[in-house]
Structure 1
């Protein structure tokens, strides 16, 4: 292969490491969400050796400036420079770690077949991981806010202040995931959830990133909101997140 051909397949991007797994004795396959190229799976050769220059950079929840070479099935990482070392602080706290794992699993699912929203999804992941690493808010609030906003960015924005079916202004006392959120008395299907008013207020705050309202919420509404967010996520992804069951709730 000529140097010219190799150069033509080389590209740079910034990416967050969503997941990794071992390949052979020293290599690692990395799933990345990048700023410009969407989701990428790439091989980092020799990264598991102690002499590797960028082994610590290519760990889950880290953000790096990368140089890659396009391949037939997997790209190849040739350079990696740390941009956001969020994984260091996150890995030291179990609650942060499980929340970050759920965030990255969701991002992987949402961007696997949707390249159009990948840039916006990238920004949401970076913001959530940065907030987790700095303990800006409670980990469960950061997670649930991310999940709601990521779903909204993917085209599945829930409604909490008006009926998702008829548009009747709220507040409403019922929630139905298949219909898209809050539902009024007339539109409410059998089996809909009946969350407390404080829970609906918290969900609206998490979706709009109204952090003063979210931070002031009580334990009961947080737990109830988490259950509704999980059901809404599961409905639209058509699967349960493996990492979500490990998240600790206050």
Structure 2
């Protein structure tokens, strides 16, 4: 059998749709985060036609079992079986939609170069989208928990108790995104913010998945935590997350 034959180039994988854009009159280019093959870009032919059998399964935030054929620059989607129909419920609510957009943009940024942690990032993103679609917690809390965990998975785990620079036992009253989170008085860079103790506790709860504590947090601490997460995210990604500007923080 030829190494370039259709059968040899065919593979299957679970994937979450990060984003799509139009190609020609009926096709789409889809950016996917797969469970086993990292981030890929593929063409879904004919999915914009009303007669398409799997067009709805390849919308943003959907999770599907895909069959693909490897191509020179873009792979081709030949089959899609739904595994997580999260897109409809998320798209129907503006807060959930904007939160999901930040999640998928972040996942795309974190996996476009480093494919080693792609499986862990895939599982983290799918879990967050599922929780968001079910309304398990406030959308903003789900987002900040996801962002902190995604960054930790990518190698930028923040500290919210001991000093991120010297390791001095905390808690500490200052925060530095550049140094990795909480910092003691001796390590604190000039101008570093001093979050409320409750905000730092909330951040630690979101990172570790202590939802009982996070769900009863006060609005002012959620707002302060969200601002620190956004700064930490964009510092370590070294670029702006464009979808953050669409978030409406209560």
Shorter-chain TM-score above 0.5? yes
> Does 2:89 match 1:89?
yes
Q: Provide the C-alpha distance between the structure 1 equivalents of 2:8 and 2:109, rounded to a whole number of angstroms.
A: 30
Q: CA deviation at 1:36?
A: 0.4
Q: CA deviation at 1:248?
A: 1.4
SS at match of 1:71: coil
Q: Provide the C-alpha distance between the structure 2 equivalents of 1:111 and 1:103, rounded to a whole number of angstroms.
A: 12
SS at match of 2:77: strand
1:169-211: per-residue Cα shift (whole Å, max 9, x none)?
1111000000000000111110111100000000000000110
Alignment match, 2:133: 133
Q: TM-score, normalised by structure 1?
A: 0.98
How many pairs were matched up? 250
Q: Provide the C-alpha distance between the structure 2 equivalents of 1:54 and 1:67, rounded to a whole number of angstroms.
A: 12
Q: CA deviation at 1:245?
A: 1.1
Q: Provide the C-alpha distance between the structure 2 equivalents of 1:130 and 1:178, rounded to a whole number of angstroms.
A: 31
Alignment match, 1:111: 111
Unaligned residue ranges in structure 2 (runs of 5+): none
Q: TM-score, normalised by structure 2?
A: 0.98
Q: Provide the C-alpha distance between the structure 1 equivalents of 2:199 and 2:4, rounded to a whole number of angstroms.
A: 59
Alignment match, 1:66: 66
Q: Provide the C-alpha distance between the structure 2 equivalents of 1:240 and 1:212, rounded to a whole number of angstroms.
A: 31
Alignment match, 2:43: 43
SS at match of 1:56: helix
Alignment match, 2:188: 188
Deviation >3 Å, runs of 4+: 1-4
Q: CA deviation at 1:4?
A: 7.7
Alignment match, 1:224: 224
Q: Provide the C-alpha distance between the structure 2 equivalents of 1:69 and 1:40, rounded to a whole number of angstroms.
A: 12
Q: CA deviation at 1:29?
A: 0.2
Alignment match, 2:198: 198
Q: Provide the C-alpha distance between the structure 1 equivalents of 2:248 and 2:189, rounded to a whole number of angstroms.
A: 31
Query: Root-mean-square deviation (CA), in Å?
Result: 1.2
Q: Provide the C-alpha distance between the structure 2 equivalents of 1:100 and 1:248, rounded to a whole number of angstroms.
A: 13
SS at match of 2:249: coil
Q: CA deviation at 1:88?
A: 0.8
Q: Provide the C-alpha distance between the structure 1 equivalents of 2:199 and 2:15, rounded to a whole number of angstroms.
A: 35
